[in-house]
Amino acid sequence: MTLYETLVTQTQMNYSRYYHVYASGSTPVKLSEKTPLPYQKQIQEFARQVNEADCIIIGGASGLSASGGGDFYYDDTPSYREHFGKFAEKYGFKGAFAGMAHPFDTRGEFWGYLVTFLHTTQHAPIREPYLDLDAILKGKDFFILTTNQDTQFVKIYPEDKVSQIQGDHRFFQCSKACCDETWDALEPVEKMFQAMGEGTSVPEEMIPRCPHCGAEAFPWVRGYGNFMQGTKYEEQYQKISDYIQKNSTKKLLLIELGVGRMTPMFIQEPFWSLTCSLPDTRYISVNAQYAFLPRQIEDKGVAIQGDIAAVLKDVRAEMEKEEIRK
Ligand SMILES: [Zn+2]
């Protein structure tokens, strides 16, 4: 097992043991009791840490995309209405994920919904916080780890700089996971989306199928119990593990953006553990809901509570201000 997958697995064991603590929005880890720096000082510290780091790992989670307007997953927001409006009216869904769990009468109708979902993320523009982050990382040696399946990072960076450990909306797998293969989803999604037009259903003969067993295809994503953890999945863990191993003795900065309370095992706790164990590693987190800084790494980290889009914009402005001063 790769280094990073080992860290995730360790956290997962802890997670089941303390499930009730996480579910209540907390953490079983002992947190720092130090008074946090005022906001403006935190922004300056963020900028300073970026400038001083030899290399940076970004851990991008759901809060990052949500802060940039990708907020249609869990709520009936204006952007949900914009992309899923006909389904919201017909079925009363409140958010994109709610529709995914609906028992549709026909497979064509289910695929109409699924295709709408995939088409929306595949064609979404690169969102503002991602562009600000890109400006912050300018000229730095960095690597991206993400649990987001919405393909925002791979729209900006080459594949070898990004690990998508929860899957990617650009690929299909066999819904029965009969084989270790993924296929392009972009072209079939576009064709089905066009064929659906103003309706809510895809012609059933267009539903993509596994070339081996004939079962329906399914997006290559975790969350539905059939996520293919084969070659492509291992590659994602290999990339992040290689980057950490290559840079483990350098000044490494880990930046966690928008991790939700129910998924601390993929980015947050592995980052805490790495900050603790690697000699010259620093940690920054940004989250709209909470500011958790473990006591064990209180001298190596900053936890900023705030809107991620606003924080990244402020850090970018701070860095550009310093650039002018030089
Ligand atoms: Zn199959």
Domains delineated in the chain:
3-67+126-164+229-325 (3.40.50.1220), 78-123+169-221 (3.30.1600)
Strand partners, 161: none
Please give the structure tokens belonging to residue 45. 């510290």
Kindly give the distance from the C-alpha atom of residue 173 to the centroid of ligand 1, in angstroms, as a whole number: 8
Kindly give the distance from the C-alpha atom of residue 181 to the centroid of ligand 1, in angstroms, as a whole number: 9
- Residue 71 banded pLDDT, cuts 50, 70, 90: confident
DSSP state of 312: H
What is the SS3 assignment for 166? Answer: coil
Q: Is 265 exposed, middle or buried (0-12, 13-18, 19+ CB in 10 A)?
A: buried
**Residues 284 and 302 sit within 8 Å (Cβ to Cβ):** yes
The pLDDT mean for the chain works out to: 96
- Residue 194 banded pLDDT, cuts 50, 70, 90: very high
DSSP state of 215: P
Q: Which residue has the tokens 């550009």?
A: 320
Kindly give the distance from the C-alpha atom of residue 150 to the centroid of ligand 1, in angstroms, as a whole number: 24
Statement: residue 325 has pLDDT above 90: no
Kindly give the distance from the C-alpha atom of residue 314 to the centroid of ligand 1, in angstroms, as a whole number: 48
Kindly give the distance from the C-alpha atom of residue 219 to the centroid of ligand 1, in angstroms, as a whole number: 13
pTM score, two decimals? 0.96
Give the dihedral of Cα atoms 305, 262, 165, 193; nearest 10 deg.
Answer: -100
Statement: residue 226 has pLDDT above 90: yes
Kindly give the distance from the C-alpha atom of residue 235 to the centroid of ligand 1, in angstroms, as a whole number: 21
Short-list 64, 48, 54, CA closest to 319: 48
Kindly give the distance from the C-alpha atom of residue 175 to the centroid of ligand 1, in angstroms, as a whole number: 7
**Among residues of the chain, what percentage have pLDDT more than 70?**
100
Statement: residue 326 has pLDDT above 80: no
